[in-house]
Structure 1
Amino acid sequence: MTTLAELGPRICIMGPSNSGKSTLAVAIARQRQLPAIHLDQLFHLPHSNWQPRPEADFLQLHDAAIQQPHWVMEGNYSRALPQRLQRATGFILLDLPTPTSLYRYFRRTWFEHARHGALAGNKDSVKWEMLHHIGVVTPRNRRSYAALFDSIELPKLRLGNPRELEAFYRAEALQR
């Protein structure tokens, strides 16, 4: 298994919604003393109900963030992926099963009032659009995630189920 040290000082984390990207990014950031960058926070306006920023504003924030010398960045946003991967020194793909993501979505909206990667001033709630995204859109995206993972020539790590994710947390002494 690729180690955290092998992933370098600029780590890109991708995967389905509610797979644990934000929590992992914060754990790595804490362990390695890197800034954690949550792309949802750059894409959406704070104190809104997930209202997107203008595209040019998001891309400007994204491109400024990747120019930092050190970071762990989580989120997908494929339109900004080429420049992100060009700067990244390591890549992690979380590929947890759809039922796990659905469970985590309900848990976070119903019980976790303060969570990593949340929008400032926003309270999560169950939304039909997100259920559709997790249950219908994401399973179709898995092939593209797998192809992307195979094509990346950076040090990389694929965690495909909760057991593998938990083993990585233990092996690297990461704390949630």
Structure 2
Amino acid sequence: MVIIGCGGSGKTTVGRKLGELLGVQVTHLDVLFYDEEWNTLPKEEFAAIQEKLVAEPKWIIDGNYNSTLPIRLKRADTVIFLDLPAITCLWGIAQRRFKHGGGQNDRTGVYDRLTWDFTKYVWKYRATMARQVRANIDKHAGHADVHILRSRRAANRFLAQAAATLNRPCS
């Protein structure tokens, strides 16, 4: 399962809840890509790690990283694209900062370093990156069950429906 969306869209929350429902470990790509000092992993090594992850029989991976998205999409049976408005994502980032502070949260794996460039990226995500994400989904995930969720309410309905289908409570 692939969970994609702008920073602050709720990828980690949706992934955590689905992981609990399905009994599957969630991999947060930010944890793999950045170290404690914000250094990034070489692209080839990052791609190789993802190749190994998607070779497993069950997996949930949350994160964007458009350059390696095809690796995940080609092997996914389910794709969740959280295509939320910029203001909703910025509010999600603000809430996360108030709750956890900056940096990489060890519990959730969320990489949270708020910069002006990141704020501009979030603000322009739908006009720039979302198009690329949709094109990648169209090109590499035609075989998958694709869910494009455009609001927090839609994401909550999706999770409730998944829980009901599995006959389990959704926390």
TM-score by shorter chain over 0.5: yes
Gaps of 5+ in 2: 164-168
- Structure 1 distance, partners of 2:7, 2:64, is 9
Confirm or deny that 1:109 pairs with 2:97. yes
How far does the alpha carbon of each residue in 1:90-143 deviate from its partner, in whole angstroms, 9 at most, with x for none?
111110110000001111112235562325xxxx45322221211134532222
Is the Cα–Cα contact under 8 Å of residues 15 and 93 in structure 1 kept in the other structure? yes
Aligned pairs for 1:121-140 (under 5 A) are 124-140=112-128
How far does the alpha carbon of each residue in 1:50-99 deviate from its partner, in whole angstroms, 9 at most, with x for none?
32112222122222111111101111112222222221111111101100
Structure 2 CA distance for partners of 1:80 and 1:142, relative to 1, 3 Å = closer
- Structure 1 distance, partners of 2:113, 2:98, is 7
Aligned counterpart for 1:71 among listed residues 59, 64, 73: 59
Aligned counterpart for 1:26 among listed residues 4, 16, 41: 16
Is the Cα–Cα contact under 8 Å of residues 42 and 62 in structure 1 kept in the other structure? no
Structure 2 CA distance for partners of 1:14 and 1:125, relative to 1, 3 Å = closer
Matched positions, count: 160
- Structure 1 distance, partners of 2:68, 2:46, is 9
Q: Quick one: which amino acid aligns to residue 116 of structure 1?
A: T
Confirm or deny that 1:44 pairs with 2:72. no
Is the Cα–Cα contact under 8 Å of residues 6 and 125 in structure 2 kept in the other structure? no
Q: Which residue of 2 aligns with 1:4?
A: none
Is the Cα–Cα contact under 8 Å of residues 69 and 136 in structure 2 kept in the other structure? no
Is the Cα–Cα contact under 8 Å of residues 14 and 74 in structure 1 kept in the other structure? yes
Is the Cα–Cα contact under 8 Å of residues 98 and 139 in structure 1 kept in the other structure? no
| TM-score, normalised by the number of residues in structure 1 | 0.80
- Structure 2 distance, partners of 1:91, 1:163, is 18
Structure 2 CA distance for partners of 1:138 and 1:41, relative to 1, 3 Å = farther
| TM-score, normalised by the number of residues in structure 2 | 0.82
Aligned pairs for 1:77-92 (under 5 A) are 77-92=65-80
Is the Cα–Cα contact under 8 Å of residues 149 and 155 in structure 2 kept in the other structure? yes
Structure 2 CA distance for partners of 1:86 and 1:149, relative to 1, 3 Å = closer
Identity %: 28
